[in-house]
Amino acid sequence: MVVKAVRGFSDILPEEIPTWRKVEEEARRVLEAFGFREIRIPVLERTELFARSIGGETDIVQKEMYSFLDRGGDSVTLRPEATASIARAYIEHRLYSRDPEARLYFIGPMFRYERPQKGRLRQFHQINAEVFGVSHPMVDAEVMALLVLLLSRCGLTEHELQINSLGCPRCREGFRETLKAFLEERTRRLCQDCLRRKERNPLRVFDCKVKGCQEVMEEAPLLEDHLCDECKDHFLHVRSYLEELKVPYSVNPRMVRGLDYYTKTAFEVVAKGLGAQKAVAAGGRYDNLIAELGGPEVPGIGFAIGVERLLLVIPSLPPPPPPLLFIATLGDEAERIAFRWCYELKASGITAAMDHRRRSLKSQLRRADKLEIPYVAIIGEEEISSGKVILRDMRQGSQQNVPLDTFVQEIRERLGPSVHEAL
């Protein structure tokens, strides 16, 4: 029986790694330029962390979390998202006492039990960035601008920033009753999940992907008409600061986030070519989350980029180049010398390879040609006796002799980093 990966959990193969690394390296470069510092959080958290922060009535908590009892009888969960865990670490380690403004980022896997689909597996990867301690709308605009910048640096060309205001708890309370009354008159057109959402958290109906529910919500009242003066003013300033930074955006009044902790600013970056699940990144402000988790009254805002989704809409990088040098050997002594040379060259940063199966010279040269290795050194009993190694340039079709005693030194000089970059 062949053991395969668990459904929804995928290997990332060597030829895919260059593009993954580019995205991660661009993330680190851009975020650190904007003052963010990396944090690494556990894969496993107490279940109550996500139930309290995300919201007990959300689909994530109700249907998608990998939760189980550990051997001590505690309920634990593989993290379905990173913001709650970063907030927990922020509180637990009293990071707010070190600096009134904390900028943190995280790169790593998340876990949700949902139907595997293109760009969204049960183990998926996110890049998260969070800013704690500042409620100024200028920060909202900066966070969205750097997100758009980062996605552009990764190679995403056709995308749109969509923004909305979800208001504060005071705004939403009145709107919740208005929306609930609207939905009560249309219960026959709602799916079973939205019938449940209607009672417990009617805003979640905006997020439903069922066509019938989407048609109902096209007629629904909008939260923007119920914003208090403070939230209206905040949203107007966010928009003005985006315009100051010349960041294009559109207002999507029906956009809500799938997590209960969001307040005021919410946003998504959508891209072409992803179908119904077209958001590659999303985020928003969560001014009450830290206090709700037992910390001080500290505002926050952040975003998450879905790496797998992003990789579907950016160009893939080519695989790493082949080794620079292949050492073909004939005989035990030549093999021993080549073994030492390969190690010394690789240790100095020059990729080299040799054959370990003691095949014929013809077979070794054929392998070097198949791998498109630009240089081949040939060493056998005759070369050892003469003190000269044959070095072939496979692209030019030329060859020359290199002294045996200084072979490694001369190869370092000829095939150093500048040659590797040129190839």
Quick: pLDDT tens for 252-286.
988 877 667 889 999 999 998 776 668 899 999 99
Q: Enumerate the H helices of 222-306 as residue ranges.
A: 229-244, 289-292
Strand order in the sheet with 66-69: 44-46, 75-78, 66-69
pLDDT at 420 over 60: no
Instruction: Identify the three-state secondary structure at position 357.
Output: coil
Q: Which domains are delineated in the chain?
A: 14-168+228-312 (3.30.930.10), 325-413 (3.40.50.800)
Query: How far lies 278's CA from each of 69, 160, 258, 306, 310, in Å?
Result: 35, 10, 15, 11, 10
Q: Which residue has the higher pLDDT, 220 or 148?
A: 148
Residue 47 binned pLDDT confidence (cut-offs 50, 70, 90): very high
Instruction: Identify the three-state secondary structure at position 399.
Output: strand
Q: Which two tokens stand for residue 364?
A: 């070794």
Q: Which two tokens stand for residue 199?
A: 């009672």
pLDDT tens-digit map of 54-85: 765 666 777 789 999 999 999 999 999 999 99
pLDDT at 57: 60
pLDDT at 56: 59
Instruction: Identify the three-state secondary structure at position 143.
Output: helix
pLDDT at 422: 46
Mean pLDDT for 321-326 is 93
- What length does the chain have? 423
pLDDT at 205 over 90: no
- The Cα–Cα gap between 4 and 9 comes to 10
Residue 360 binned pLDDT confidence (cut-offs 50, 70, 90): very high
For strand 37-38 and strand 102-111, is the pairing parallel, antiparallel, or unpaired? parallel
**328 and 376 Cβ atoms separated by less than 8 Å:** yes
Residue 187 binned pLDDT confidence (cut-offs 50, 70, 90): confident
Instruction: Identify the three-state secondary structure at position 161.
Output: strand
- The Cα–Cα gap between 173 and 145 comes to 30
Can you name the residues that pair with 161 across neighbouring β-strands? 269
For strand 159-165 and strand 263-271, is the pairing parallel, antiparallel, or unpaired? antiparallel
Mean pLDDT for 309-329 is 93
Whole-number percent of the chain with pLDDT over 90: 70
- The Cα–Cα gap between 110 and 217 comes to 30
Q: What is the pTM of this model?
A: 0.88
pLDDT at 423: 44
Whole-number percent of the chain with pLDDT over 70: 96
